[in-house]
Amino acid sequence: MLENKNTKLTPIENIGEFELIDQLTKNFSIENPSSIIGIGDDACAIDFKKNLSVISTDLLIEGVHFDLSYVPLKHLGYKAVIANLSDIYSMNAKPTQITLSLAISNRFPVEALEEFYDGIKAACAKYKVDLVGGDTTSSTKGMVISITVIGQTNHKKISKRNGAQANDLLVVSGDLGGAYAGLQILEREKAVFKVNPKVQPDLDSYTYSIGRQLKPEARKDVFELLDELKITPKAMIDISDGLSSETLHLCKASSLGCHLYEQKIPIDHEVIKICEEFKINPTTAALNGGEDYELLMALSQSDYDKIKNHPYLTVIGHFTDSETGAKLITGLNQQIELIAQGWNPISKAN
């Protein structure tokens, strides 16, 4: 969990709340002219002039959303930001600020928090977003992370979930199932480590999938590509709970059905290999595995020429009227009802 192997660690009780926040945030700089007031006041202030503010928030609980036995704190900080940025890109908006609230039990020394903030900072720097506020407090158990991300767009560009129409193309960025495959590998290694801590895991042939799980990226490049190609998706969502769940969200919000072609779903060859090892159908990994943070969108057929053969985007189906329902069309041309079996943190409650 902690990469700092120094044995002199600083208990958080040794440092006051305000000093702790000062220490953790001192190396963050403000890059966006819209960030008028940052950390250190009762609230941050943002000036988007005439533009819309787009805001999304996420709550992550240790033991439910992340497992520190195989997630380094720096990666956790990075990924927590990415998951939120992805929600803003999925509105066809540009993320510009985040606030971070953190609750921690006293098992975390200050150095652990510094590593976590290093990950936050790396994500802020890469995506050019400013940390402008938050809260640091104690928890009775484990770590709790709450991130709110603020972005900007305008009325003409914003992509909601409900704007798709029948015959629109169903298009996805990147490839799917990688984060899920990476998680299978990490969970297996954790189990092996428990039995024999001396075994050195050989993870070299799984680097793509483990990377997708531990250090995912948000599709800033796709957001910028759409802008460059002058494409405004008629509806868009990010894939955090699996392709089937997100496709159904678009269908429901737009009151449509769809045809999703199994053979068109983009899946990396390493993911297929891992699925074979674990005896999982790769389509199942893509449909129900979460955390890929790809963008799923409805594009007008008239935009097809602009995107065809682009390496970032794959047409995987089209929308239909609602009576057709949401269908997966298999390689054998069978129609199967699409069902959301994505990860549900409520039903997983214990």
The residues in 90-149 that bind a copy of itself, with binding defined as CB under 8 A, are 90-91, 93, 97, 99, 101-106, 132-142, 144, 146, 148-149
Q: How far is the CB of 299 from a copy of itself (least distance, A)?
A: 17
Residues 309-338 touching a copy of itself, rule: CB under 8 A, are none
Cβ count near 246 (within 10 Å): 26
Q: CB of residue 190 vs a copy of itself: minimum separation in angstroms?
A: 18
For the segment 161-200, give every residue that binds a copy of itself (CB under 8 A).
161
Name residues whose C-beta falls within 8 Å of residue 10's C-beta, 6 or more positions apart in sequence. 109, 110, 111
Name the amino acid, one letter, at 269. Answer: H
- Answer whether 5's CB lies under 8 Å from 115's CB: no
Under DSSP, the state recorded for 81 is H
Which CB sits closer to a copy of itself, 84 or 209? 84
Question: Footprint of a copy of itself on residues 236-265 (CB under 8 A)?
Answer: 236-238, 253
Q: Which stretch binds a copy of itself (CB under 8 A): 36-44, 116-124, 174-182, 316-324?
A: 36-44
- Cβ density class 68-98: b for 16+ within 10 Å, e for less: bebbbbbbbbbbbbbbbbbbbbbbbbbbbbb
CB of 174 to a copy of itself, least distance (A): 17
Is the CB of 141 or the CB of 264 nearer to a copy of itself?
Answer: 141
**Cβ of residue 27: shortest distance to a copy of itself, in angstroms?**
20
How far apart are CB 349 and a copy of itself at their closest, in Å?
Answer: 3
Q: State the number of binding residues for a copy of itself (CB under 8 A).
A: 78
- Closest to a copy of itself by CB, 34 or 283: 34
Letters for 15-34 (x = contact with a copy of itself by CB under 8 A, - = none) are xxx--x--------------
54 Cβ contact partners less than 8 Å away, ≥ 6 residues apart:
88, 91, 93, 150, 151, 152, 153, 158
Specify whether the CB–CB gap between 99 and 132 falls below 8 A: yes
Give the residue with the Cβ less far from a copy of itself, 61 or 267.
61
Task: State the minimum distance, in angstroms, from the CB of residue 330 to a copy of itself.
Answer: 26
Task: Classify strands 143-153 and 52-61 as parallel, antiparallel or unpaired.
Answer: antiparallel
Task: Please list every residue from 55 through 84 that binds a copy of itself, using CB under 8 A.
Answer: 55-59, 61-65
Which one, 71 or 253, has the nearer CB to a copy of itself?
A: 253
Among 7, 26, 42, 302, binds a copy of itself (CB under 8 A): 42
Q: Give the number of other CB atoms < 10 A from CB of residue 16.
A: 10
Choice between 85 and 176, CB closer to a copy of itself: 85
Helix (H, G, I), strand (E, B) or coil at 185: helix
The region, left, alpha or beta by phi > 0 then psi within -120 to 50, assigned to residue 63 is left
| Smallest separation (angstroms) from a copy of itself to the CB of 168 | 18
Strand 35-37, strand 130-138: pairing: unpaired
Radius of gyration of the chain (CA): 21
- As given in the structure block, the two tokens for residue 186 are 């990490």
Q: Report yes or no: 239 and 227 within 8 Å, Cβ to Cβ.
A: no
**Shortest Å, Cβ 245 to a copy of itself:** 9
Work out which of 8, 13, 191, 230 binds a copy of itself, going by CB under 8 A: 13
Q: Of 107 and 264, which has the nearer Cβ to a copy of itself? A: 107
> How many residues in total does the chain contain?
350
Tokens 């990469």 -> residue: 3
